[in-house]
Structure 1
Amino acid sequence: MEFFKKTGPGILLCLCIAIPSWFLGSLAPVIGGPVFAILIGMVVTQVLKKKEPFKIGVAFTSKKILQYAVILLGFGMNLSDILMQGKQSLPIIVSTITTSLIIAFVMYKALKMPSKISILVGVGSSICGGSAIAATAPVIRADDEEIAQSISVIFLFNIIAALIFPTLGGILGLTDQGFGLFAGTAINDTSSVTAAATAWDGMHGSNTLDTAAIVKLTRTLAIIPITLILALYQTKKAKNASDGSKVSMKKIFPFFILFFVLASVITTVFSLPAAVTDPIKTLSKFFIVMAMSAIGLNTNIVKLFKNGGKPILMGLCCWIGIAGVSLLLQHVLNIW
């Protein structure tokens, strides 16, 4: 009871922001609920005079609810189906992910950017946008402003991609299968992949949406090795910085990622039907919107815009690199 008394007001505030954000996101899927939640949260925090009663609940939502969202995301991933149908796209996916991470690392060094936001932009660009950022942020202990900034960067290039890629694919003479691979590997967020593939299908009377969705889900699997590698790195770093004192593995290691893997294995082993997994996936997405509401409430909008130049440049370079490698490999593999 004491827990709900402390966290209730903050959780309720995030819920009040998340509900309209969710509906706005369904009306404008290219933008998506998480972005609306961050924007509304940033506006609300500017006009909210007494923040103290909400502080604990907002912190709980931005950290714990975000982790629960990632765990539930695992129930939407049947590993055998994804790997079976996404085998052709694996070389392109591995290459685009590697390209994005290398570009992010080089720019992090060259521009002397903060390491955490560089990781979030690199991982978000290479894997699956908001979901990858949601999974990675707790592992590297990114603060709310770093999460908001990286989500904003990914959102910007998602919208551009969703708007121009169908036309670009037509100019390049991509086949339906080729565009499905292109959209699935070069666009980050699921909603934007869906928007681009649906626009292509409308223009060409095809059915590339299924191909794009499978490729996108296959990319999502990269969350598992990337976050575990980062977790091991963080653990080693914490031990080295501990000056000989004992470090609690329980406090450092992100066990929620293991629960995410377990959820994926359960879905795969028991072949859970869509009637079971679809509501869980929907709840996962709603939890992400709730967490982004909390992140918006903890974000200084002035500081966000002031420090936004370098992350946007990094996002642009990652985006161009991914798109270029995707098209080049399709050409080499004679897919388009």
Structure 2
Amino acid sequence: MNIRKLIFLAVAALTLSPFITAPLALLLGLVLAQTMEHPYPQSSQKATHLLLKISVIGLGFGMNIYSAITAGKEGLLFTLASILIVLATGYFVGRKLKIDFKTTSLISAGTAICGGSAIAALSPVMKANQQQISVALGTVFILNSAALFLFPAVGHWLNLSQNQFGLWCAISIHDTSSVVGAASKYGEQALHVATTVKLSRALWIIPVSFGATYLFKTNKTKVQAPYFIALFVLAVLANTYFPFLTGYSHYLVSLAKSGLSLTLFLIGSGLSFKTLKGVGSKPLVLGTTLWALISVFSLYAIMVVL
């Protein structure tokens, strides 16, 4: 085993420590990405998707179904409005910037719904090529990384409540990993609200995928549903209705948070300068415009309504 692999594995193991927060784990990954070549690029991508799903399911053991339903209802209108606004704005801004329609659609859906998961689900439906997928993923991952550091700072600056901040994270941050990472830094209630609303938002992958099937005339392509959300709901139900789990839920949630930190480290380790350069300026302008729009719009609405 060479020195690169040893360093990578050692830092990855370090992120499992309870002393390493989600933003710090991401930062460690970003530092490694700029200082050495990734020793496990393919394995890291596969592990990221699996770890995120397992971690989200684990967080369900720290939640109550009644508070989850309340949070989901509260975020429904905000979610629907934000998705429609982002998809419509993305179409017009993409045309103005002369970005190809598939790349525009992937970036818009990634911003509107749930980042990399939406891009992964929609790309086979619209038959996007590898370049289009890479540009879209690179764009949302760059902005995700920024959000993980910026959102808690803005939340404290504006003195947002736990409920307000959790809802804002769920609507405005792309990927579930960064949503949970930012919310967990803010507080437990913010984490519960953010996770619940974000996962209900992720379910919009299904109708949007069917719409893309019609739009891109690919009716033979199978739509990928986010089945792990059902397991998250089962975990929440189990924690609510099976009292004997209460003594173990703390450990399961702690393991889930450690898994999330490792997930963010793996995401950061894949964002090298080469990756950033490959995104290009126009897609980044599109992604940043949409992200800024939904962040400001949702923050204003949440502060007025809640």
Q: TM-score, normalised by structure 1?
A: 0.63
Cα offsets for 1:62-83 (capped at 9, x unmatched) = 2x32331243144123583422
Matched, 1:263 2:231: yes
How many residue pairs align between the two structures?
Answer: 281
In the other structure, the counterpart of 2:29 is: 37
Q: Which amino acid aligns with 1:214?
A: H
In the other structure, the counterpart of 2:242 is: none
Matched, 1:329 2:301: yes
Q: Which amino acid aligns with 1:149?
A: T
Larger Rg: 1
Quick one: distance in 2 between partners of 1:102 and 1:19?
45
| Coordinate RMSD, CA, aligned | 4.3
Quick one: distance in 2 between partners of 1:138 and 1:13?
29
Matched, 1:219 2:187: no
How much does 1:160 deviate?
3.6
Q: Tell me, yes or no, if the aligned pair for 2:136 and 2:283 is still in contact at 8 Å.
A: no
Quick one: distance in 1 between partners of 2:217 and 2:231?
30
Q: Alignment partner of 1:282: what SS? A: helix
Residue correspondence of structure 1 range 76-155 to structure 2 within 5 A: 76-77=59-60, 80=65, 81-114=67-100, 118-119=104-105, 121-127=107-113, 132-139=114-121, 140=123, 143-144=133-134, 146-155=136-145
Quick one: distance in 2 between partners of 1:29 and 1:113?
37
Q: Tell me, yes or no, if the aligned pair for 2:110 and 2:116 is still in contact at 8 Å.
A: no
Quick one: distance in 2 between partners of 1:332 and 1:239?
41
Matched, 1:20 2:15: no
Q: Which amino acid aligns with 2:296?
A: G
Cα offsets for 1:6-33 (capped at 9, x unmatched) = xxx89x9678536526757987857453
Q: Are residues 216 and 175 of structure 1, via their aligned partners in 2, closer, same or farther at CA, if it must alter by over 3 Å?
A: closer
Q: Are residues 166 and 213 of structure 1, via their aligned partners in 2, closer, same or farther at CA, if it must alter by over 3 Å?
A: same
How much does 1:267 deviate?
0.9
Q: Are residues 164 and 123 of structure 1, via their aligned partners in 2, closer, same or farther at CA, if it must alter by over 3 Å?
A: same
Q: Which amino acid aligns with 2:282?
A: K
Quick one: distance in 2 between partners of 1:83 and 1:66?
28
Gap runs ≥5 in structure 1: 1-8, 49-53, 198-208, 242-246
Q: Are residues 90 and 157 of structure 1, via their aligned partners in 2, closer, same or farther at CA, if it must alter by over 3 Å?
A: same
Quick one: distance in 2 between partners of 1:71 and 1:312?
27
Q: TM-score, normalised by structure 2?
A: 0.67
Quick one: distance in 2 between partners of 1:180 and 1:151?
20
Q: Alignment partner of 1:91: what SS? A: helix
Quick one: distance in 2 between partners of 1:67 and 1:303?
19
Match among 192, 201, 216 for residue 182 of structure 2: 192
Percent identity over paired residues:
14
In the other structure, the counterpart of 1:72 is: 54
